Structure 1
Amino acid sequence: MIRSLSLAALSGLLLATAATAQPAGDRPMGPRGQGAEMLERFDTNKDGKIDEAEFKAGRAETFKKFDTTGTGKVTLAQFQQGLEKMREERRQEMAKRRFERMDADKDGTITQAEFDAAAQRMFDRMDRDDDGTLSPGDRPHHRGHR
């Protein structure tokens, strides 16, 4: 029987995909973190769930990225190279998304004003007590705060 997994259940599967993910401290869990990335990669029929067949197919595809010689085995060097390549791809995608969010008028460039506006939004988000300063008291007590 093929089971379906909701986005909420994906967090448990992240342990199985830890080898291909950045450390948990680098990215948030949930709809904008590792679970969403896994959903995007593995949910091939785009129904918002990953069934067992999609999960197995995704893992097989991931293994192929590491097994660059096609031997069915992955050496430590191949594994390290594969992880670094995946991290670089993620960094590039994250940079693209950040750029697109800053480019308010969508003209393909970021002006000083757009850059400053993005910085202000970040400051405002980080200033959790809204006192106009960033201090240790502004640190969230748990992920997803504010």
Structure 2
Amino acid sequence: PPPPQIEPLPEGDPDAVGDAPPMPGEASPQNREQKRFARYDRNRDGVITRVEMMGSRTKAFKALDKDGDNLLSFEEWAVATADRFGAADADKDGKLTPAEFAATAPKRAAKAKCKC
């Protein structure tokens, strides 16, 4: 489906008095990239080591490695993939609609609410 239309911001009242409210800041691609880098740079030394890069995938790998031999066989991967497909195929027709496929997306942990 096409992306939703973005509605323009309201123009405001031309007869209003006082200073205009501040506009919200925009995240630049560099800021997003810096955040992504920081997620991998666990010890915050400004470089990402191989261990840091691979460390984020350890939990997912261990979940697929059912026999615990630190080797992922095709069978282990295929079973996990088939189970994931079967769980997403809500109408059990052997095909995934866009809505069913969306159910296969990794679940993001909810951000903690501010306790201000």
| Bigger-Rg structure (1/2) | 2
For the aligned pair, the TM-score class normalised by the smaller chain equals 0.3 to 0.5
Task: State the TM-score, normalized to the length of structure 2.
Answer: 0.42
Structure with larger RCO (C-alpha < 8 A, sep 6+): 1
Task: State the TM-score, normalized to the length of structure 1.
Answer: 0.34
Task: Give the structure with the larger helix fraction.
Answer: 1
